[in-house]
Amino acid sequence: MPRLLSILFKAAISALLLYLSLRRVDLDSIGKRLGSLDLRWMVFILFLLCIQMTLNALRWREIVAICGNSLSSVTALRYSFIGQFFSQVLPSTVGGDAVRIWLLARGGAGWPVAIYSVLIDRVVGVSVLSALVVACLPWTFNLVHDPSARAALVLIGFGALSAALVFLALGLQHLQVMERWWLTRHLAAASRLAWRLCRSAAGARVAALSFGIHLLTVTTGWGAAMAAHAAVDFVHVLFLILPVILIATIPVSIAGWGVRESAMILAFSYAGLAESDGLIVSILFGTVSLAVGAIGGIVWVASGYRWRSVKAIKAETLAHDPLA
């Protein structure tokens, strides 16, 4: 029941924010523009997101190796596409990360490697994204002049970056107090592995892959703007979409829907751009992400898994203690 309530809550947040976003624009105009999309750009951004998935898989493979196991590039890519399917397409209690954990653990890596590698992968992604948001603030401020919006950007960027640094700090020393509680015990164990990653040659590769992933995110947003003939250039997208994507990682909606659209509209508005352009860019970004998720669904079925495996994923992933 609590998980059902969580789904309903996220669905309600997505529906409410989408409704409020759509109220701010001329729906007839949006409909006409969506009907006159440049399909060549749509194919291009679909290709970009598939490349991004490949970089995601390669980054995860490096992290799995640091955690003490090996994962082939092809297997990492297959698991990543399947995870994307569950994250984007199915509004279930089984998220893409849980699916990746289950697949990796059942594939022979074991539960500790599976759980910690996915956790570190998430932390690395948010860390690099928040660092880019903070580094870009001087240029973002050239576009956004509203004091409240600037304060929000600083809070979002430094807040996420600080959370990542706190996670890393947990593994600096083997503090006895960290062993008292289940959550802190596991976070400390994952943090020590993250420090091992930072000190290894793989750390530079993971950082480079993360930078490439976020650059592809920006390019995808720019491609969406071009597909809709929006009056937006690459510089606008570069400095506006990164904080929007960071905000959309907050798990309060279904696959970021609603949160992403509201944040994109506000970002475009504060930068003096058309709110309708922001909404269209966000909708196209989300739609192509759904298409990539659909590819993951095909991979899931082609891999021979049964739909009843979903219950096994939920039961085994949530019940297992990685330190046991």
pLDDT tens by residue, 294-318: 999 999 888 777 555 555 555 555 5
Q: Is the dihedral of CA 130, 132, 137, 143 positive or negative?
A: negative
- Tens of pLDDT, residue by residue over 111-159, are 888 999 999 999 999 999 999 999 999 999 999 999 999 999 999 999 9
107-111, 185-189, 250-254, 257-261: which has the highest mean pLDDT?
A: 257-261
Inter-residue contact 203 to 56 (CB < 8 Å): no
Name which residue leads in pLDDT, 148 or 94.
148
Domain contains 30: no
Tell me, yes or no, whether 40 lies in a domain.
Answer: no
Which amino acid is located at 149 in the chain? A
Question: Which helix or strand (DSSP H or E) is residue 296 part of?
Answer: helix 275-302
What does the angle CA 202 – CA 204 – CA 210 come to, to the nearest 5 degrees?
A: 100
Assigned domain for 214 exists = yes
First to last CA, the chain: 27
pLDDT tens-digit readout, 6-37: 778 888 888 898 888 888 888 888 888 888 89
Residue 93's pLDDT is: 45
Is 29 a member of any domain? no
More confident residue, 93 or 219: 219
CA 149 from centroid of its chain's CA atoms: 23
What pLDDT score does 210 carry? 96
The answer as to whether 140 is a domain residue is yes
**Is residue 226, in this structure, part of any structural domain at all?**
yes
% of the chain at pLDDT higher than 70? 88
The whole domain housing 8 covers: 2-22+45-319
pLDDT for the residue 310: 56
Residue 34 belongs to a domain:
no
**Contact between 45 and 35 (Cβ < 8 Å):** no
Structural domain total, the chain: 1
Is residue 100 a part of any domain in this protein? Answer: yes
